[in-house]
Chains A and B, each alone.
Chain A
Amino acid sequence: MKPSGRRVRSLFIIVGLSMLALAGCDDPKYMPVLSPQGPVARSEYYLILYSFIVMLLVVLGVFVIYFYVITKYRARPENKDYVPPEIEGNTKWETIWTVIPIIIVIALAIPTVAVTYKLVKPPKVEAATTAATGKSLTIDVIAEQWKWVFKYPAQNIETVNYVNIPAGVPVNFELTASGPINAFWVPALGGMEYAMPGMNLKLWLEADHPGTYQGRSGQYSGRGFAHMTFNVNAQTAADFAKWVQTTQQTAPKLTQQAQDQIQKPGLLSKPLTFSSTEPQ
């Protein structure tokens, strides 16, 4: 039996199978986290990539020592009489492998803290794509059991289970929940944030280009949680302005009956649109 040989082989099998599974998965739709479509997701992606590379170096370093030690010092019939020396420790080496991890942690901590602070501020607006709606857009998000309600306070529009945003404009999602905690997550545009009752958490997201990105709940909230998906439709500034205008003119007002239907635990068969945010 040769453990090292088998280990390497099993590693190859695993990696091979995973590669096979991922073949043809380079479409951004399959790997939203690794193909960011906005500035927020992009800065998170760079951190993921950076930390992965650093960790990969650590893995490679440790694996070299590991395989060297377990093959070279393996008990064999030839070395039956070998009596290992009694070694207490070695201050020089122990210092080295304490200092190296400290340096690695510092190297990781600096960009981490920088980006953590950066993400609470709106992403920088690119002048060329600034939409007519102004510098940014605020949308209130309420997690119901089990649907997502989006209120546009400035536009007096409410949508359920889909949200339209202008591309190239930072959008400030203000998250809350009427009951159980959910997490608002659009992986292609950026990481998640909790939607909690009695709280109002902010999440900045921005889409680079027009397109449809899927969002879902990231926090279990009961029976219908797996179905809490929604589409984020990023539109050009002109299209978005047109959509706002049409909706304000043609969509029905939010009625008490519709409001009750939304708040009752359950799923909806299709997305809804209203031209008011408070029941009339």
Chain B
Amino acid sequence: MKNFKKHKEIRKKLKSAIKKGTLGLIDIGSSKIVCIIIKFSEINKKPKNLDQIDENNRVAYRVVGVATKKSVGIKKGEIIIAEEVEKTIRLVVQQSQKMAASIIDEVVITFSGGEPISKNLYQEIRTQNQSVSSEDINNLLSKYNFQIYPENREIMHAMPINFSLDEKTGLTDPRGLVGNILGLDINLVTIKKNVLETIHQCLQNCQLSLAGIFFSPYISAKSSLVEDELKLGAICIDMGAGTTGISIFYNHQLIFASNIRFGSENITSDIMQAFQLSFNEAERIKTLHGGLVVTNLDDNELIELSFSDANKEYYNYERPFISRAELISVIRPRCEEIIEEIQFSLDKAGLEQLSSKRIVFTGGGSQLPGLYELASEYFGARIRIGRPMRVQGLPQALQGSQFSAIIGLAIEISNLQDEVWDFEIPTNLEPGQRLRSAVNWLKENW
């Protein structure tokens, strides 16, 4: 039985930071590191002018400091050069602190690396009395065996997603309901332990303490999906630079999360190789002229290449122009590959029976023109290119879909999802119970 000591500590820090009033949010992405500082106003008071979904218990806050920097030393969402990442985090924190004119000690991190694995656990118990009490829920949680396999993994999320009572399912809060058998689905997201500890170490070197860590596909879905989509179920695809995250929501709960190690950075490197350009130039052409659907007009549309880089002698001088059709022909296969990968991992998750086949694309890669057409061709579902919701105080420059993760983090912090470690799990069982559990264990193993 795991007692989630570390997770509880981190959660306690987050609660105290919210009480103190300021909290830093950092998105460690493959292409950029974003830090925003949010200031909380009165807790548990409904905000007057907030362009967010109204919900009880939502904490009012506003963004007071923002800083974005291109990330160095991060590959596929994982830190590969700790020193450079520390430097960037320091820079970003410093700038946002200057803007906010206040200091942050606790930061909440979101990132997409670490080879996440999402799996669902199910257990059920008999209720002690007629109606379900919170004690029953705690007892139920204590029945779970959060043994992680293999050993080098750490639990990132363990969210109770669905309570069932007898034949009824889809309950969010079963307390007070009358029934005999109480069941619970838990979605467990685990990532590599060393990846998590590297982030811990980096933050410690920046004099910051970790107050929470969230998986970025889950977080960006929180900002991109609208209320109906969350309720009826939707797939959110976060196309980042290094990785593409997939998260599936149903009934306001994350039921599956995964990660593909392909991203829009791969598209850029394809352009780099095809036209012999520098990375920055390829990125510029991709963002300004990139697309996925070829039209007749594109053959005539010539894109001027600029060789303003220092090492321009190395690159091809003789072709200062390429046509847009050529560019699209380079981008499209890679995009198709990514979409195929998404499809593959969705099939693997076995969620064909999801009632509402709604797919929402978000992240920086989703801004590629023509993605809508391409994706609807493949998925045959309702596609939407999502943009993150508005958060009070966020500057206009940070409202693009590439910032969906950091905005989602702010939204998540204001309305925290319950995790397993938020419950009081009874660790020391009664002597009789302990004996019974030992007998059960013997029964199961022989």
A binds B: no
Chain A residues in the interface with B (C-beta under 8 A): none
Chain B residues in the interface with A (C-beta under 8 A): none
